[in-house]
Structure 1
Amino acid sequence: MTPNPEIVAAATEAADIAGRVILPFFRRPLDVEGKSDESPVTAADRGAELAIREFLGKRFPDHGIWGEEFGADRADAEWVWLLDPIDGTRAFITGRPLFTTLISLLHRGRPVLGIIDQPATRERWLGVAGQPTTFTGPFGGTAGCRPCGRLAEAELSCTSPEIFTPADLPRFEKLRAACKRVTWGGDAYGYGLLALGAIDVVAESTLKPWDWAALGPVIQGAGGSLTDWQGRELTLDSPGDVIALGDKALLPEALRLLA
């Protein structure tokens, strides 16, 4: 189901709200706390999520909201917003403009809207089910994945080798060896670059739903694919291994290496 224009407009306004909370903290002294999984969190993460939740909760009181920092509220609703206020907190706290805000809307558990927003560079990707992805930003770029006939010609991106479990890392290494080169870092920003045709493959594991839900509508609307490492559609029950491809023709070869 395609979200109506009111919902799309509210999603973009929510991204604006998050940016206004986040930017005053960027490249400023701030306290960094460690969560139970040892990932960092700041007042910017928490403040941005609270602001989005308040806005969307008032606008759509019958919708559920599920965020990384404050958990789920009515996660069994027909429509559920999935939020990652700062994807790439490590980049954020070290002053690199590669963090993003991720906002997704699920309809009966399937992502039908996704936003990747980089407030410091004013870049935004918007994907809506059944529609082409749109991109806005001051540096140029047009949404649309590029053709890439072979993995040997492919640019691969990944946040960090530390993202993989001991079982998954050897599988990723086979894929990495088959690609032209790998670039580390980027978190969700790398998936946005894939949707601009600058990257061909992103492969990661241990992702949570709020990490990948916004990416699907963006990448699919740009002509690419986002699946698990067995080529299956991602669901809320998926284990967290994700592969994004700008050229869907690469999928059989990539899955063979990741098997």
Structure 2
Amino acid sequence: MTELALSMADAVRPLIAQHFRKRLTIETKDDASPVTIADREAEALMRAMIADAFPDHGIRGEEFGLHQADAEWVWVLDPIDGTKSFISGSLAFGTQIALLYRGRPVLGLIDQPITGERWLGRTGLPTLFGTQPIRCSSVENLADAVLYTSARDHFDGTQAPRYDRLACSTRFNRSSHDCYAAGLLALGLVDILAEANVYDYDILPQAPIILGAGGIITDWAGLPLPDGRVFDTVLISANAVLHRAALAALKID
């Protein structure tokens, strides 16, 4: 199944690349997020490859929804995570693929189609960047940590001040990198990711990558992410000591 994940990422690279830094027709989905022909063509191709290789597997895709969602093995597809970056010509986007076994992610892949960078995580194995094992950073103090988030405007009225308190405690913070930030965290260059109101196809592909590189993933209360399609809050840290410090900064007064 790893080979299928790699093959799908290989197959959609040229498809996505041909649309990169071109003026595309942009549609708005029901959740107000943008979508382009590149998103839809890439997911359609991956779905066809899954159906050909494993017709009994389920699929949960961002663009075309559910197929056999109660199957034992389910693929989660996010053809372009960071569509706003893609549309505006930024490299801070990627293709995300996860494979769930009985609801739990056992394989995760992030692929940057333009640069050729690829992260692969599998349960029980070290995370790979290309062919090389990688580890999260050993930074333990918030004052030394680099914090990323996809977009500050994702935080609601109660979450925003908590995020700001965490941000003020770190060395510096950045936004609008989506899945690429998770890859940087696994490489040891970013130390904390804080997200809110994100979908399963945003986070599930990242989980095996982060865990395989030694990182930690919980919600903002320090609890495991619940089952479901939308996560209210997500906190990803490079190590357990830093994670505890980040949780303390996010704690509700």
Q: TM-score range, shorter-chain basis?
A: over 0.9
Q: Which moved more, 1:156-165 or 1:102-111?
A: 156-165
SS in 1 for 2:147: strand
Q: CA deviation at 1:235?
A: 3.6
In structure 2, the partner of 1:43 is 37
Cα distance, 1:118 vs structure 2 = 0.2
AA matched with 1:246 = A
The separation in 1 between residues aligned to 2:103 and 2:232, in whole angstroms, is 15
Q: Look up the equivalent residue of 1:152 and give its one-letter code.
A: A
2: CA distance, partners of 1:129 / 1:207: 23
The runs of 5 or more residues in structure 1 that have no matched partner are 1-6
The aligned residue for residue 189 of structure 1 is: 180
Distance 2:212 2:231 in 1: 24
Partner amino acid, structure 2, of 1:42 = T
Q: Which residue of the partner structure matches residue 86 of structure 2?
A: 92
Identity, % of aligned positions: 44
Aligned counterparts of 1:86 and 1:102: Cα–Cα separation in 2: 7
Residue pair 2:134, 2:213 contacting (<8 A) in 1 also: yes
Aligned pairs, number: 250
**3-state SS in 1 of match to 2:231:** coil
**Higher alpha-carbon deviation: 17-26 or 101-110:** 17-26
Matched, 1:148 2:142: no
Between the aligned partners of 1:227 and 1:16, the Cα distance in structure 2 is 31
1:255 is aligned to: 247
Aligned-partner Cα distance in 1 for 2:115–2:10: 13
1:86-235 maps to which residues of 2 (within 5 A)? 86-136=80-130, 143-235=134-226
Q: Do 2:109 and 2:205's aligned partners in 1 also have CA atoms closer than 8 Å?
A: yes
Q: AA paired with 2:219?
A: D
SS in 1 for 2:232: coil
Moved more, 179-188 or 100-109: 179-188
Corresponding residue SS for 1:177: helix
Q: Distance in 2 between matches of 1:15 and 1:234?
A: 26
Normalised by the length of structure 2, the TM-score is 0.95
- After TM superposition, give the deviation of residue 127 of structure 1 in Å: 0.2
Instruction: Report the Cα distance in structure 1 between the residues aligned to 2:44 and 2:232, rounded to whole angstroms.
Output: 25
Whether 1:240 aligns to 2:232 is yes
Cα distance in 1 for residues equivalent to 2:116 and 2:227 = 30
Give TM-score scaled by structure 1 length: 0.93
CA distance in 1, matches of 2:80, 2:232: 18
Taking the aligned partners of 1:234 and 1:112, their CA distance within structure 2 comes to 15
Q: Retained in 2: the 8 A contact 1:110–1:235?
A: no
Structure 1 counterpart of 2:74, one-letter code:
V
The CA deviation at 1:142 is 5.9
Further displaced range: 12-21 or 53-62: 12-21
Secondary structure, aligned partner of 1:233: coil
Amino acid at match of 2:186: A
Structure 1 residue 233: Cα displacement: 2.0
Give the 3-state SS of the residue equivalent to 1:86 in structure 2.
Answer: strand
Aligned to 2:4, which of 7, 10, 13? 10
Q: Matched residue of 1:211: which SS? A: helix
